[in-house]
Amino acid sequence: MGRFKKNLLADSGATTLGLVAQLLLIVMLARLLDTREYGNYILASSMVAVGEMFSDFGTRMWAIRQTALGMDLRDGFRPILFTKVAYTCVFAAGVIILSGQTISPTNLCLVVAIAFLQPSTDPILWQFRGREQLYIDALITFVWRLSAAALMLFAASIGRTITFTLGAWLVANIARVTVELAWLRRHQSATVAPRTPSALPLPSSAALMQHVFPIGCAFVLMSLYQRVGVFALNRIGDAASVAIYGTAFSLVTVPGFFAVSVSSALLPRLSRSVHARALAEATATLGRGLLLIAGLFAVLCVAGVIAAPWIFELLFPARYYQGYRVMQILLPGLYVSSLSVLLKFCLNALSLNTFDAVASGLGIVVFVLIVAVPSWSVPSWGAAVAWNAGELFIFVARSVVLHRDGRVGVRLAVRLGVLYPLLVVACYLLGHAADSVHAHFPLPHVSLGVR
């Protein structure tokens, strides 16, 4: 467990600090931009998140797993890059057709370019994850997060528009990739001995696109699911609804990186165990990860529900204050969503990506039906309830797939999932208690900018 702990601490620590910078960026943008521009930024950043998944379309997971099994990523760089460009073009075509007049063509181009150059879609960084060297990836991503946040904040303070902010984001991405390429070229020139051919057969570009398609569908659908609330509210609500829900969702999902860090750190180990047919070891690895995630997120959900009124009062302008209720509704879903993330990575290690894609797709259907069919008096509350229901459905679906496959045990996952309804009840009661306490003990007004 030594390397796992090192990777987990490095990745979690760097991501925590980076996300603090991102959180501060959101807080300041909510104050610097008017409601329309801020709502458009939330929408654009959600598009970037989906575009990231389109840009690698499962190639990252394939590359990490193959690198863990002995592939030299540089040997497969050409088919990987071709696949990345092809699927990014698909995303660009889709976003231009579906976005309508909400975001200008200039900003749409910026969204596509940013998504193509995000760290999660960067093949240079994938090799470190495959070699269980997440600390290198974490350090690079941390420096980038700080630089991007600072540059975007500076641009927003000057231009007060989404275009300036997205332009700064793109510049930060280009600068990071430039430094990485310079480092890679210097490292290669210093290597005198020729590389040995890859130990694993490498597919052609067309074969790779076909191979990663089910993986990419699963990840794109899951990323789309996480942002479908913003997209739905953009259609049925107004800019204020998008801004309130998007802000609350951004706060709730900040701790979600921990589940991704645990899952990423365990993926090489799960892949090797499955490849070697050491299924008992794979089950034990999955169980340790689930326990770690469940313990942390149960505590975070309860604490977040209690603190939500004071958090929104302290950090955001008064026009977004009601977002604390959305945050309270969303938090129980974070628990089951975080458990589901590790199940998703386990499905990938078992090459069950088609079933994962189906589960995510059906989760989107559940979400849309719940948010669109009833007549919600507060649309952002309906989106929060829909997110919980969809996450629970996806968790159950993934558990059923793993159970039917039978190679990795999921009894512990089911037991931890049963705690979800108890957590919902506890958060509901604690939320009402927090409202009452806050009414008697509000924070003193502190000027942090425009309110």
State the chain's mean pLDDT as an integer. 84
**CA 86 remoteness from chain centre:** 22
Which of the residue ranges 3-7, 203-207, 373-377, 422-426 would you say has the lowest mean pLDDT?
3-7
In the structure encoding, which two tokens stand for residue 377, read together? 């008096």
**Model confidence pLDDT, tens digit, residues 215-274:** 788 778 888 888 888 988 888 888 889 999 999 998 998 888 788 878 877 887 888 888
Helix spans in 162-204 (H): 162-189
Taking the domains of the chain in order of start, what are their residue ranges?
A: 2-195+204-440
Which of the residue ranges 90-104, 269-283, 402-416 would you say has the lowest mean pLDDT?
90-104
Q: Is residue 83 within 8 Å of residue 55, measured between CB atoms? A: no
> Whose structure tokens read 């938090």?
331
Q: What's the average model confidence in pLDDT over 68-95? A: 80
Q: What's the average model confidence in pLDDT over 10-21? A: 71
Residue 206 is which amino acid?
A
Q: What's the average model confidence in pLDDT over 384-408? A: 94
pTM: 0.77
Residue 102: DSSP 8-state: S
Please tell me the predicted confidence (pLDDT) of residue 188: 62
In the structure encoding, which two tokens stand for residue 325, read together? 């209720």
Q: Is the pLDDT of residue 15 over 50?
A: yes
Please tell me the predicted confidence (pLDDT) of residue 450: 44
Looking at the chain, the whole-number percentage of residues with pLDDT higher than 70 is: 87
Residues 6 or more apart whose Cβ sits within 8 Å of residue 312: 320, 321, 323, 324, 327
pLDDT bucket at 448, cuts 50 / 70 / 90: very low
**Model confidence pLDDT, tens digit, residues 160-197:** 889 999 999 999 999 999 988 887 777 665 544 455 55
Looking at the chain, the whole-number percentage of residues with pLDDT higher than 90 is: 39
Q: Kindly state the helix (H) or strand (E) to which residue 9 belongs, with its residue range.
A: helix 2-32
Q: Is residue 315 within 8 Å of residue 327, measured between CB atoms? A: no
Query: How many whole angstroms separate alpha carbon 324 and alpha carbon 304?
Result: 10
Which of the residue ranges 119-133, 181-195, 435-449 would you say has the lowest mean pLDDT?
181-195
Residues 6 or more apart whose Cβ sits within 8 Å of residue 93: none
